[in-house]
Structure 1
Amino acid sequence: MRRHLDPEVACLAKEVRTEWKTFFEKHLDRPSIEVRSDPKTESFRKNAQKLLSEALELKMDHLLVENIERETFHLCSRLINGPYRRTVRALVFTLKHRAEIREQVKSGALPVGTFVQTHKK
């Protein structure tokens, strides 16, 4: 439509595209909406948060713990399945036994997305 023969239509199409692009760039960094799951899934996710909090030596409601678990959950197609469980185990093991990685995650030097992606099973 930006190449329409009518200059008014072309101008309006350009404006719509500019507004659309600006809107998506502003909203790109917003977190996705969390929907409550069934009780069994919620229980598994809380347990995963507990294990991660112990490995990070942080409280269970700390934002970093929630972000790591949420990233893992989303990376595993929002399912509590074998890959989710194996990934959580790998993350917990790494955080417990590799102090340098634990400190990088806690300080923010190693982004949560990168950390989870490298340990996905």
Structure 2
Amino acid sequence: MDKFVIRTPREAYNPKPKYNRKFYKQAKIESLQGVVVIEDLERAEVLLKRNDVSPGKKVKTLKTLLQKRPPKETLIKTNIGKTVHKLCKHENEAIASTANEVYKSWKEHILSKVNRPKLEVACDLKTQNFKLSARRMIRDAMKRETDSSGENSFGEERYKTKENGKRKRELDVDINIHKKSCKEKKNDSSEKIHKSSKINEDTLDALAEYIERELFQETKRLINNSYKRTVRKLVFSLKHQDELRNSVVNSTKSVDRLIKDFLQS
């Protein structure tokens, strides 16, 4: 059988090349730039302050700090900001240059936070409608009822008095003159009332919005039972208590004090 078998030289074993796969590791919360561990910062602050620590370890510590973006409050609390700032003038050039990089990156981060505009996140539609209705009820409760003064009952004398025709004619003339003067006064007063009503409505709208916002903030930005109950009590009290309404409208009572009183009651 061997003469029928064709033997060929064996080739060297060449395994198939593996695909270049990237193996990803799961990121941890501590690996994020904005997440810092207070204990790590305190440890780094001690290492950077001590004189018996080698320059290489200090540079390594500063490089780890360079990857973090701690907030301003944390820098003040741990005193790490002052320590890094002092190391910018260190005798060792490596330590000074790395400390300068850390200080500049932290400073840019803090300044970007300060100059960044605040984001206004809109609530859901149900919450927005509830807030708008609460503002409307508070505004209506703060409006003072204006008594519309009608015409004087001057014409009743015409039917009560029984005098001669001359006296009646004089009375008719006096009534007409009185009506004209009332109309003129009414027109002048209506213009003044219209202008003042616009100003009052604008101020009341702003005040009602301010009261509702502070109440919403005090109830942890939730439309809960405390928020609803406080709105009802506030509206009822503003409607029926003249002294309270006048003090709120005239700003003799602060909004913070008003909300705290109603939340505690």
Same fold (TM over 0.5): yes
Q: Which residue pairs with 2:65 in the alignment?
A: none
Secondary structure of the structure 1 residue equivalent to 2:226: helix
Q: Distance in 2 between matches of 1:111 and 1:33?
A: 27
2:211 is matched with which residue: 68, 79, 95?
68
Pairwise CA distance, 1:80: 0.6
Question: Highest Rg: 1 or 2?
Answer: 2
Q: Partner letter of residue 240 of structure 2?
A: H
Q: Which residue pairs with 1:119 in the alignment?
A: 262
CA deviation map 1:63-116 (0-9, x unaligned): 101000001100111001110000101110110111101111111110011101
CA deviation map 1:5-36 (0-9, x unaligned): xxx829xxxxxxxxxxxxxxxx9xxxx86531
Q: Which residue pairs with 1:36 in the alignment?
A: 122
Secondary structure of the structure 2 residue equivalent to 1:78: coil
| Structure 2 portions without partners, runs of 5+ | 1-78, 88-113, 144-199
Taking structure 1 as the reference length, the TM-score comes to 0.70
Q: Which residue pairs with 1:56 in the alignment?
A: 142
Identity %: 35
Pairwise CA distance, 1:59: 3.6
Q: Which residue pairs with 1:82 in the alignment?
A: 225
CA deviation map 1:36-55 (0-9, x unaligned): 10000000000101110110
Q: CA RMSD in A?
A: 3.0
Taking structure 2 as the reference length, the TM-score comes to 0.34
Decide whether aligned partners of structure 1 residues 111 and 80 sit closer, same or farther in structure 2, where only a CA change above 3 A counts.
Answer: same
| Structure 1 portions without partners, runs of 5+ | 11-26
Q: Are 2:132 and 1:46 equivalent residues in the alignment?
A: yes
Decide whether aligned partners of structure 1 residues 3 and 69 sit closer, same or farther in structure 2, where only a CA change above 3 A counts.
Answer: closer
Aligned length: 102
Higher relative contact order (CA 8 A, sep 6+): 1
Q: Distance in 2 between matches of 1:67 and 1:90?
A: 17
